[in-house]
């Protein structure tokens, strides 16, 4: 929530991205004198670079857990194969 703050904001509503409906850019106070056209041009260029949102920590944690489990299962299978080959 912004209260008592006077800022210049550029809103891009056509993001061409399935994840984002709109993008808000807050203009730095020292750049307020830059033309609106230049600001919109730069904002559109930055908004056009959007891809997908970054993975959350929970998703990264789940991926890491699955990778550890797969590695442990592979190590267990390898040890089992060695022991079976040795005693067979």
47-71 pLDDT, tens digit per residue, is 777 666 666 777 888 889 999 999 9
Total number of domains in the chain: 2
Q: What is the mean pLDDT of the chain?
A: 82
Burial of 8 from C-beta contacts in 10 A (0-12 / 13-18 / 19+): middle
CA atoms of 49 and 13, how far apart (whole Å)? 14
pLDDT for the residue numbered 18:
75
**Structural domain includes residue 79:** yes
**Structural domain includes residue 4:** no
Which structural domain, as residue segments, surrounds residue 75?
Answer: 55-88
Higher pLDDT, residue 79 or 9:
79
**Structural domain includes residue 1:** no
Mean pLDDT across 1-20: 71
**Structural domain includes residue 2:** no
**Can you list the positions of beta strands (E) in the chain?**
9-12, 23-26
Q: Kindly state whether residues 21 and 44 are assigned to the same domain.
A: yes
Q: Kindly state whether residues 40 and 59 are assigned to the same domain.
A: no
pLDDT for the residue numbered 74:
95
Q: Is 59 left (phi over 0), alpha (psi -120 to 50) or beta?
A: alpha
pLDDT for the residue numbered 29:
82
């Amino acid at each position: 929530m912004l209260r008592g703050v006077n800022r210049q904001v550029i809103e891009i509503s056509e993001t061409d991205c399935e994840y984002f409906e709109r993008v808000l850019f807050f203009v730095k106070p020292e750049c307020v004198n830059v033309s609106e056209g230049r600001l919109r041009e730069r904002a559109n260029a930055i908004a056009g670079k959007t891809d997908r949102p970054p993975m959350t920590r929970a998703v990264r944690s789940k991926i890491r857990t699955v990778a550890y489990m797969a590695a442990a299962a592979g190590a267990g299978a390898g040890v089992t194969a060695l022991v079976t080959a040795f005693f067979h």
